[in-house]
Amino acid sequence: MTFDGFARAELENFFRRQEERGKFYCSTCLVVQLTRRGARKVVPVAWTAAIEEAFVQPGRLPVRFDRPCEACKKHRPTIGVEPLNREVSGQEIVGSLKLNP
């Protein structure tokens, strides 16, 4: 794996943490969060590169334009993960339809 690939994988790992569910950060705040709490081996400039790439090619991490950043509350493009309960409620609707014809 390249170093950029490592930073990108760590970025996705960060958003898999339970406490980050449903939170969206702008690129500036995400660099701060990852520098404080992400893998120690990754320097801020590498986080910045990985985050900029993630905004261009979000992959599994959705980019949102309709909600403010979790940290600075500014309206900027943000990236993060959808809250888990949204996925669960979708499954519950499907399940209840099957159970109650």
Q: Is 26 left (phi over 0), alpha (psi -120 to 50) or beta?
A: beta
Q: How far is CA 78 from the centre of its chain?
A: 9
Distance CA 35, CA 100 (A): 49
Q: Which is nearer to Zn ion, 5 or 22 (CB)?
A: 22
Amino acid (1-letter code) at residue 54: A
What angle do helix axes 3-16 and 44-56 make, rounded to 10 degrees?
80
> Using CB under 5 A, which of 26, 31, 42, 46 touches Zn ion?
26
* CA atoms in the 13 A half-sphere facing the CB of 62: 11
Is 50 a binding residue for Zn ion by CB under 5 A? The answer is no
> Using CB under 5 A, which of 51, 69, 79, 81 touches Zn ion?
69
Is 31 a binding residue for Zn ion by CB under 5 A? The answer is no
> Using CB under 5 A, which of 7, 29, 34, 79 touches Zn ion?
29
Is 72 a binding residue for Zn ion by CB under 5 A? The answer is yes
Q: Which is nearer to Zn ion, 30 or 42 (CB)?
A: 30
Is 63 a binding residue for Zn ion by CB under 5 A? The answer is no
Question: What are the residues binding Zn ion (CB under 5 A)?
Answer: 26, 29, 69, 71-72
